[in-house]
Structure 1
Amino acid sequence: MAHYPGGVLAAAVDGLGHGEQASIAAKLAVATLAAQPDDPVQVLMQRCHDALRKTRGAVITLASFTADSNSLTWLAVGNVEAILRRKHPPHSKPVAILPRGGIVGDRLPPLNPATLAVTCGDLLLLATDGIASVFIREVGRMEQPRQLVNHIFAQHAKSTDDALILGVQWRNSSKAPTSGGA
């Protein structure tokens, strides 16, 4: 996560494969994102794509919260998951992002971010493919974000892959979101 004036950028980055080369790709993407986190998510994704061309690449989900509009703009490339759990009706049904197939650094698909309004208490969950996608069934299970993230990681992290789940809860337009990850 990277805070910027008026917002925060959350990202889930998974370098392709395992080991040192995957780590190099992931760290380069994170450094690229941290350099200018307030840029639009499609610009950030393109910048990561350009930076990762000489690596094995990565799959990435980006989510940018903007305080003045109480909005979330998100974009995902590759086998990643993202879901927004709404705190209050009438928008209480979780909303999932539809990731585009591709690899950042190799085959970048057309970038079409989506923007949603967020309210105090909405919870964003970002997961790499090291978390079994059935975790989505757990989204309404626990109220506390940290407990939910820890539960999902404990129950759904694959022993055969590196795994990341990040939870970001929007508090309101005058405070930064809270986060927890496993």
Structure 2
Amino acid sequence: MTGPGLIQLVDCEDVAWFRDGSQGARGAAAALGRRIGLGEQRTAELVLAVTELATNLTRHAVDGSLLLRVLRSDTTAGVEVVAVDAGPGMADVPAALRDGMSTLGTLGIGLGAIHRLADALHIHSRPGLGTVQLARFWPRPVHPRVAGEPSVGGITRPISGEEVCGDAWAARTDTGGAATPAPAPAEKVTDPYAPAPAAPDWATLTGVRLPAARTHTATEQNTSSLRTRTTGRPAPVRASVAGPGPGLLVMSCDGLGHGPMAAAAAQAAARAFRTGTARTPEQAMEQVHRALRGTRGAAVAIARLEPDGRLLFCGVGNITAALVTRTSRTTLLSHPGIAGHQMHQLRTYEHHLPADAVLVMHSDGLSDRWNHTDLAGLLHHPPTVIASALLRQAGTRRDDASAVTAKAPW
């Protein structure tokens, strides 16, 4: 059976990253549990798990950091803890979860205790590269609507020195219905690939010259399509309608610059996307574009996953997007522009969505010089673990960074 009722999604409210020991994280976890009504006993268990994870980062890890954030569904709120490091990694994760296992001569009960306390615990580790750990805590008893794994997961991290992040991601379901065509282009645009009339860009408005968005020449686009055809995968085609059934829509957004103004733009985009009713990425992009007028603007990418094995995609600006399997990475093309200020003629492209594929989208706070082999050993993990591992591997600290991944829930 398929249907929007079977697609599990949660909204995430990132609280804080911690890099200096366990005391700050422990206090924040206690305050967070009380604020969202987790309950006294469950909050104490959360604090114990956070203490163990933070202590392990201090004792064992290289460049370790821990994220606390709130998860919200339409029925309840919980807390998710994500710990990432750059090494040394674990050679045997199942052994590390057994009580009594220790590499420092201690009792070694930390991960075993977390495994028993958390509603979900996921660990990915590779010796020499590092570890990602995710623990999730819901109020007891756990509501059935949040008992499984979300189909979409993402992570954001502000540039060093900032407390708020100018990147955001969001997901929502579309309940289906009659297919709605995308808005027709204005009659005065005779060439479907011609840009819309110019509007003031961010540099003109502020006098600050920002790095240009990455563009793709016609040669690059043709080469990409040829590469897709020669590898046996269907080339992307123009798409104007969504399917008649349910769909899963995912957005990645990078507000221009960083700091509070970039964060305001990113959150405005997320609100418009979550509350919008558009069925196609192209229509959703138009709604986000209108919501961002009066802000700094943003680079935005929106995808729709269909139950029939299609993916619809529309991107504006420098968001990297790709479909990844164990054997391939297929890049999805975005077009130059700034949502909220200036966009070229929007186009939604249709791609084949393999059953084992993962949609990956990230901001330019991550290098795009990664390939499918970097994620091949991660694809069986939940989306948030994949996104966190990619952030650890490809993220820079010179800009806000975010990554979001999605798996077809059907």
Band of TM-score, shorter chain: 0.7 to 0.9
CA contact (8 A) 1:131 1:153 kept: yes
CA distance in 2, matches of 1:101, 1:150: 27
CA distance in 2, matches of 1:140, 1:154: 15
The corresponding residue for 2:378 is 142
The corresponding residue for 1:21 is 261
CA contact (8 A) 2:370 2:394 kept: yes
1:2-151 equivalences under 5 Å are: 2-5=172-175, 6-67=246-307, 69-86=308-325, 92-136=327-371, 138-146=374-382, 147-151=385-389
CA distance in 1, matches of 2:274, 2:379: 30
Identity among equivalent pairs (%): 24
Where 2:369 maps in the other structure, the secondary structure is helix
> In the TM superposition, what whole-angstrom CA distance separates every residue of 1:18-73 from its partner, at most 9, and x where no partner exists?
11111111111111111125521111111211221211101011001122x33210
1:160 and 2:398 aligned: yes
Deviates more, 1:41-50 or 1:135-144: 135-144
CA contact (8 A) 1:3 1:37 kept: no
Q: CA deviation at 1:148?
A: 3.5
Say which one has the larger Rg. 2
TM-score by length of 2: 0.39
> In the TM superposition, what whole-angstrom CA distance separates every residue of 1:109-140 from its partner, at most 9, and x where no partner exists?
11111112323221100011111111335243
CA distance in 2, matches of 1:71, 1:131: 27
Unaligned runs of 5+ in 1: 173-182
TM-score by length of 1: 0.83
CA distance in 2, matches of 1:145, 1:119: 17
Residues matched between the structures, number: 167
Q: CA deviation at 1:141?
A: 4.8
Deviates more, 1:123-132 or 1:42-51: 42-51
Moved over 6 A (4+): none
**Relative to 1, partners in 2 of residues 1:38 and 1:105: Cα closer, same or farther, differing over 3 Å?**
closer
CA contact (8 A) 1:79 1:99 kept: yes
What is the RMSD of the two structures over their aligned residues, measured on CA atoms? 1.8
Where 1:60 maps in the other structure, the secondary structure is strand
Unaligned runs of 5+ in 2: 1-170, 176-245
